Amino acid sequence: MTTARHDRGDSWHGELLDLDAYLERLGHTGERAPNLACLRALHRAHTTSIPFENVSAVLGVPLPLDVESVQDKLVRRARGGYCYEHVTLFAAALEKLGFRFTAHTGRVSLGADKILPATHALLTVTPSDDDRTWLCDVGFGGGPLEPVELADGAEAEADGWRFRMERRPDAQGFEHWWLHQYGAGGWLDRHTFTLTPQYPIDYEVGSHFVGTHPRSPFVKRLIAQRFSAARHHQIDGLTWSTTLPDGTRTEQKIEPEDLQRVLREEFGIDLDPGVVSRLTAARSDAP
């Protein structure tokens, strides 16, 4: 008689991940161990191999976060996804490799002076050979290339991309962490988060808002990103921007008839012509 496994809701179901296929998608041929060197290699490979995109949300297509669905989309079909999909996939891989980690949600700020919803997914990880905890932010779309140490004032630089951590209490003394990124205008706060643990069900709730709520920018227009050591490409609607590690930024408009080619050649996102037509005709210019 087989006893069904009781899922308490805190598992990321790494046992369901096809680890070989995931690592092949990343081009990772190095060691498979829960240590810092492997974590750095996986983080860099994930952020530079799997693009960020919200095509399904714009088209009103369901965005399930179970491991099978996420790996089918991001690994087998070589598509991209937004933060909840990226982090769910990365968490399953870390769990299968034996890493100790905690999931969190953050508030994207980008210099805003108001409180924005906590809709960003991220992880903190403690490798087996290192007592420090590291922020892994593989789902933002714009780096960092490698983990950033979770320590007040810690700075990380990789291939010219610079990030800094800050620990800041709020008015009630509750501890908040801030990730800053260095660009053309100096340091900019990118997002803030607390160390309150989150679980798969929490990500399902957050993803439902991001992927379906009419006030979410992710249902209004195409957003795609491709990050590498050399540059960060981003499409917002039909505007294509490229940012270099020093913050230098260029911008150009994409003609609707060129969108399919640009997504395929520059972002690694291969979509059917009919899907691209729906993206450009329906919501590419939504506010």
- Distance CA(186)–CA(152), nearest Å, equals 18
Residue 287, pLDDT above cutoff 50:
no
Query: Which H or E run includes 273?
Result: helix 273-278
pTM: 0.94
213 assigned to active site: no
Q: Is the dihedral of CA 111, 102, 24, 21 positive or negative?
A: negative
Cα–Cα distance between 189 and 196 in angstroms, integer? Answer: 20
Query: Regarding beta strands 100-108 and 223-227, do their DSSP bridges make them parallel or antiparallel, or are they unpaired?
Result: unpaired
Q: What is the mean pLDDT of residues 49-72?
A: 97
What is residue 113's predicted lDDT score, i.e. its pLDDT? Answer: 83
Environment class of 78 (CB within 10 Å of its CB; exposed 0-12, middle 13-18, buried 19+): middle
Among 28, 43, 46, 120, the one annotated catalytic? 120
Task: Please compute the mean of the pLDDT values over residues 194-210 and round it to a whole number.
Answer: 97
Residue 86: active-site member: no
- What pLDDT sits at residue 280? 87
pLDDT in tens, 129-147: 999 999 999 999 999 999 9
Pairing state between β 100-108 and 52-53: unpaired
Three-state DSSP string of 146-175: CCEECCCCCEEEECCEEEEEEEEECCCCCE
- Answer yes or no: 136 catalytic: no
Alpha helices in 13-61 (DSSP H): 19-26, 36-49, 55-59
Q: Are strands 223-227 and 186-193 parallel, antiparallel or unpaired?
A: unpaired
